[in-house]
Amino acid sequence: MKIKTLIILLILAACQNTSTYEGELPTRFIPPTFTPRPQQSRPLPFWEAQESTLQPDMVDTWLFEAQLGDSIRLGVVGINAEIILQTQTERFIASGIDSLEVTLPEETQYRVIVRPLDSGGTYQIGLRYTDRPAVDEPTRIPEVVGVPTPTPIYASLGAFISRIEPQQTIGETIGENGTAHIYTFEGYAGHFVQIEARRVSGASTPRIALYDPQARIIATDGGSVSTDIARLNNIILPIDGLYSIQIIGEANMGYAVTLLLYDRIAPITPTIVQIPTATPIPTYSVNTPAPATFGNRLESHQPVLGFADSPSHVGIYPFYASAGEILTIGAGAANGSTVQLQMEIVDPDGVIVARSTPTDSNGDTVITPLRAELEGVYQIFVTPFNGQIGAYLIGYGSGTTWVETVAGQAIRDEQNRGVITRRGLRDTWTVELQAGDIITIAATPGDIVFDPVVEIVYADEPNTILAADDNSGGNRAAYIQRVEINRSGLYLIRVRAAQAGTLGPYLLVWRYINVAPTPTPPPATAPVMVIVDRVPESAYQFYPFQGRTGQRLIIQVEAMSEGFDPVVALIAPDGNVIAEGDDSPDSLNPYVEVVLPVDGTYQVRVNGYLTGGDFRVMVLQRF
């Protein structure tokens, strides 16, 4: 019996760890429904393998008592089974497939549920401590011819490829079945290693994991350098022995793995990394004119496309105006046509208040300025002039313009060149400014005709004019001598013709009078772990990394699936949760900053709040 027990315990010792105590869960655990086994729960002693038989629709329940802080391993051999660990009050502690390892959170009696995952059958279950030897070591098995070679402790991690020596690089390709590759090396307590897996073919990002001589995971990474490179930096080896490197990737992924060994910590060069936030990079654009929709009102400076398909065509375009508002209405050929138009403007009482035929050299028909005497819906009636047909652009605007173009970013202290090519057009330039900046702006005509007007507005409040000028620069030049910026963000500098009366080129120049203090730069960081993965609803994923006392870390989870609400927790080497995060101020993505209290292997736990989905988890060292 001792010989059988020892062999079973050796098999259980080689089981892969699949779960870690999770502490208080941020979302409610819903235990699966099982068909109860007829007999009562049975005791499960430490260091003694027990045997039982299960049918597919049955479960076994085992009981044992343990102390707060005990580190244990449970394992099942003979069948594929799910192991669930609970307290006697049915509080969920951990689960795993065929095995699990956990640090117990309290002194109590614990319940182990074994559920077959396939056809069931006879199995053996074992329970042992991982932090102490057996009280009564079994009698040593005499050496007998024919005793099989013990299974290597790393055998459950993947397919063994070869040993790897320090400063060596080995190239391989993941097989068709996608089985992980295993490399081993001899390590010594206190030494530091760097392990890198670089993709050389295929599409997947390589993922690496380092296991100690007892097959306990130390750290993992899945792309902290780039989508091609996974790297573990400055991992201190805790004990002497044979370590295992696991390489994971999609089938047929080619890679090169490199091992570097140091007797002291290697320097890390931090980089300035802009921490992602929900705030988008500021941009500005105008809508591309779309075909008009019957009955829809026009919006200011958002012209639409119409089409005169016959000489008798009549287009009707409503818009809303306030009493006293100054308006400009314009129409002209579009999409390569040469059609010319005539317009009539009808007020809310049905009275014609303005009409026009083509007035400009380019064939446009423009009415400006038109004062709205009444508040309400006005209508533009458009008909072909002289029986012409074709596509046309029709719109209106508040003020003396009706159409807008984005000229680009205005470069400081440079001559930004623009041209007003049609009556009622305004050019819009973008500039990023900080609160406290004081600037000056000038728009100088490029010929003897054009009379420019310049103004500056908030990009998100384009109707709020902060400053404007027509002729303060002399000789028709527009000049804003001073405007103080009261908030940081994107601003628009707009150039138009005075009273929409002229066309022509101009030069736009803006300069600082005073520059606001430089904002605090983002923190310098170095990646510790980056992994892209997926978590099902009501499930948890764990990602180990090695940390050091006093290390300052940033932990983020970025949802990559619509509707996914990630939750993150950091579990210390003793199994306690020391930091948690759910939503950030501006998004559902959690963001946590933490200072590590002790050396050891930490676990980042990720789950979804009543959701599941794809995500990216990042651990960054902050300097």
**pLDDT tens per residue, range 44-102:** 998 888 888 888 888 899 999 998 888 898 998 888 888 999 988 888 888 888 888 88
**Is pLDDT at 360 greater than 90 in this prediction?**
no
What are the backbone angles phi and psi of residue 41, rounded to the nearest 5°?
-60, 145
Mean of pLDDT values over 124-136: 77
Q: Does domain 2-129 have CATH number 1.10.3720.10?
A: no
pLDDT (0 to 100) of residue 164: 94
Cβ distance 501 to 435 under 8 Å?
A: no
pTM assigned to the model: 0.44
Mean of pLDDT values over 336-352: 93
Q: Give strand pairing partners of 86.
A: 92, 111
The two three-digit tokens of residue 411, written as one number: 């470069």
Angle at 464 between CA 459 and CA 468, to 5 degrees: 95
Cβ distance 268 to 621 under 8 Å?
A: yes
The CA-based dihedral angle spanning residues 130, 135, 141, 147, taken in that order and rounded to the nearest 10 degrees: -20
- CATH 2.60.120.380 domain span(s) along the chain: 2-129, 155-266, 304-398, 403-514, 524-622
> Confidence class of residue 20 from pLDDT cuts 50, 70 and 90?
very low
pLDDT (0 to 100) of residue 465: 92
Rounded Cα gap, residues 544 and 271, in angstroms: 23
pLDDT (0 to 100) of residue 29: 35
CATH number of the structural domain 403-514:
2.60.120.380
Rounded Cα gap, residues 527 and 233, in angstroms: 9
* Residues 304-398, CATH architecture: Sandwich (2.60)
**pLDDT tens per residue, range 226-277:** 889 999 999 999 999 999 999 999 999 999 999 999 888 777 666 554 444 4
Cα 19 to chain centroid, rounded: 26
pLDDT (0 to 100) of residue 303: 94
Q: Does domain 524-622 have CATH number 2.40.37.10?
A: no
pLDDT (0 to 100) of residue 134: 63
Least confident of 38-52, 270-284, 437-451: 270-284
Cβ distance 621 to 526 under 8 Å?
A: yes
Overall CATH class of domain 155-266: mainly beta
Identity (one letter) of the amino acid at 114? V
> Confidence class of residue 518 from pLDDT cuts 50, 70 and 90?
low
Rounded Cα gap, residues 439 and 185, in angstroms: 63
